[in-house]
Structure 1
Amino acid sequence: MRALIVVNPAATTTSARTRDVLIHALASDLKLDVATTEYRGHARDLARQAAEGGTHELVVALGGDGTVNEVVNGLLHHGPDPDGLPRLAVVPGGSTNVFARALGLPNDVVEATGALLDALRDGTERTVGLGLAGGTPGTPDESVPARWFTFCAGFGFDAGVIGRVEQQRERGKRSTHALYIRQVMRQFLGDPHRREGTITLKRPDEDPIEQLVLAIICNTVPWTFLGNRPIYATPRASFDTALDVLGLSKLSTSAATRYATQLLTSSPDRGPRGKHAASLHDLTDFTLQSQAPLPFQMDGDHLGLRTSVTFTGVRRALRVIV
């Protein structure tokens, strides 16, 4: 099998020596071409060229969730081809690796490479669904191009946290769980909309859900990890269904404490609940609109402020070696 491996040299948990060893191991089972990313969006460009050129049967992403997201968007630049879905493999090299771990891959990069080699030799793969999000026609955001996400998107509070973390990383801070926790507290103290939400969720032929403070959109579970602890915002989300949504309409100190506790103790059978929590399952098409511009993120990548985002859940979008 001819494959392209897209390597992020800045991947958090790998060194140049480790990456060389992993590439050598994969080359023993694949006709492997290696490309190293040099700028933001380069992984997307490389994957798109591989998909359009038809010269590679498989693209391997070696990096974190951001690298995986770019590769997926390159593979699906023209959308899923029902006659031949693109094929992806992942070697997790980031700090969290939510997508890879949701697929059941080990979080250790060496062990994950071994699991990938076993899957290649056994010829095992699965089809996964993905989410697609973009600007809403008729709104100021209508020119925002659609983009795929592999495990989650967020509108409002959680995206604000992501934005703060990115600012700290640009200043040289390491991406650690302690950093995320500090930024959660700062976002909570500085968020002007946490007591009275500005988001409305609209679905075809359904009543709108109004005054949400935040909306978390999940394509699978878990939503994220805190160390080795999986967090389940939407326990029923699955790669085999469309999109799930958790919306919260209040984040006072008491409400935030309650929902934070529920998230930390969540499980595949039980997620956040209460009169200020709305949980929706297997949505194919919906729109989030806000009265004020709010931060937006996909797969942990802060994408700036939006007033409206349209979401589509695509149940069969990609083949993954696993």
Structure 2
Amino acid sequence: MRVLLITNPYATSTTRVGRDAVASALASRVDVDVVPTTHRGHAAELGARSVEQGYDAVVVHGGDGSVNEVVNGMLGTPGEPAARGSAPVDPADLPAVGVVPGGNANVFARALGVDRHPVQATAQLVDSLVAGRRRTVGLGHMLDRWFLFNAGMGLDASVVRGVDEKRGTGRPVTNLMYLQTAAAAFLKPELTDADITVEVPGRAPVSGVRFGFVSNTAPWTYLGPRAIRTNPGTDFDHGLGLFAATSTALLPSLALGAQLLAGSGDPRGRSLVRDDDLAWVRFTADRPVDVQMDGEYLGTHRTVEFGCRPGVLDVVAGR
């Protein structure tokens, strides 16, 4: 078995010793080539190379952003959002993707049942690779790119932008940084006064939305060991989940946040717009609004359509 190990030396929680340990563990059981990323977009280039050179699997030791880049490099662009349907390539003809967590949240890896600790995750991964255990998952897409677990417009994307700005000053990314940035964002009218209209199949449009998330699986994210499930009924085998709010007022927001932190299986609220298993979702804003995908800031947009395709990628799952 030929495996390409892609490491991100700049990921939040990776170290040189840890990266060497992952490489050694893989090399003890499979034929592995190790390539560190050196620049933005390099992971996508390596993902495309893994397909061209016929690797059996690609293992990414990094955060969600690195995994997203690799997958987009492997699959190419999804095409027009309206072109929903079967996967463009048989997943069995592509390398399977495995992940050893190396970022802050590691949402995709943990949603697949991968241990949050790199040593244990590597042991899981090696066993699954040798046993040939692969699972096929569906992916979301937007702006002609694939997303693994979530994307959003409005407040959550503004938080991602704020964290990126702090990261740019050399500050380490932590859960506390995300919480502080989110709390500050709620108090900035320019980040919460956008008027977004949400459209989904078979329903009347909902206007007056202040922010919205679209999920491809649950959890939506993690705070340390705590899973935050905005759409508990959404998974890799079905359509998209929608979670949007028509208000950012303090009391309703605190009540909703308390439900999410408590692990509610059915979050509710008067200002909440929520649905699962959707074929597509469209957001249209009255002005350019921040947009994020898998924790990556994508700038401002007025209209974004989210789609999904089933069975598009084989992964090496933790369980």
Partner SS for 1:66: helix
| 2:162 is the counterpart of 1:164 | yes
* Aligned residue number for residue 64 of structure 1: 63
Take 2:200 and 2:269, find their aligned partners in 1: how far apart are those partners?
22
Q: Distance in 2 between matches of 1:165 and 1:186?
A: 11
Match of 2:175 among 174, 177, 195: 177
Instruction: Give runs of ≥4 in structure 1 deviating > 6 Å.
Output: none
Question: Are 1:122 and 2:131 matched, yes or no?
Answer: yes
Change in Cα spacing, 1:120 to 1:83, as seen in structure 2 (3 Å) is: closer
- SS of 2:45's equivalent in the other structure is helix
Tell me what 1:82 maps to.
90
Residues 167 and 78 of structure 1: CA distance in aligned 2, closer, same or farther (over 3 Å): closer
Distance 2:104 2:280 in 1: 31
Aligned residue number for residue 222 of structure 2: 225
Aligned residue pairs: how many?
Answer: 307
Say if 1:48 and 1:74, in contact at 8 Å, map to a contact too.
yes
Match of 2:271 among 276, 279, 296: 276
Contact 2:201 2:278 in 1 (8 A): no
Structure 2 residue runs without a partner (length 5+): 79-87
Deviates more, 1:59-68 or 1:256-265: 256-265
Query: Which of the numbers 291, 297, 301 marks the counterpart of 1:306?
Result: 301
Identity %: 38
Is the 8 Å Cα contact of residues 64 and 95 (structure 1) preserved in structure 2? yes
The 3 A distance-change label for structure 1 pair 107 and 257 is same
Work out the CA distance in 1 between the residues paired with 2:313 and 2:148.
10
Structure 1 position 82, deviation (Å)? 2.9
After TM superposition, give the deviation of residue 2 of structure 1 in Å.
1.0
Q: Residue 82 of structure 1 aligns to which amino acid in structure 2?
A: D
Q: Residue 142 of structure 1 corresponds to which residue in structure 2?
A: none
Q: Distance in 2 between matches of 1:264 and 1:77?
A: 36
- Distance in 2 between residues matched to 1:249 and 1:183, nearest whole Å: 21
| Aligned mates of 1:223, 1:174 — CA distance in 2 | 22
TM-score, structure 2 length as denominator?
0.92
Cα–Cα, structure 1 residues 83 and 70, in superposed 2: closer, same or farther, change >3 Å? closer
- Cα distance in 2 for residues equivalent to 1:83 and 1:321: 12
1:180-234 per-position Cα deviation (integer Å, ceiling 9, x unaligned): 111011111113353x551111234431121111111111111111111100111
Q: Distance in 2 between matches of 1:43 and 1:191?
A: 37
Matches for 1:36-47 after TM superposition, within 5 Å: 36-47=36-47
CA contact (8 A) 2:230 2:243 kept: yes
Partner SS, residue 142 of structure 2: strand
Q: How does 1:207-286 map to 2 (within 5 A)?
A: 207-267=204-264, 269-271=265-267, 273-286=268-281
1 CA distance for matches of 2:92 and 2:113? 24
Correspondence for 1:27: 27
CA offset at residue 85 of structure 1? 5.1
CA contact (8 A) 2:158 2:191 kept: no
Cα 1:193–1:121 change in 2 (3 A) is: closer
SS at match of 2:190: coil
Aligned to 1:294: 289
User: Could you state the TM-score of these two structures normalised by the residue count of structure 1?
Assistant: 0.92
Please list every run of 5 or more consecutive structure 1 residues that lacks an aligned counterpart in the other structure: 135-145
Q: Matched residue of 1:251: which SS? A: coil
Counterpart-to-counterpart distance in 2, 1:193 and 1:23: 43
The offset of 1:78, in angstroms, is 5.3
Q: Residue type of the partner of 1:165?
A: V
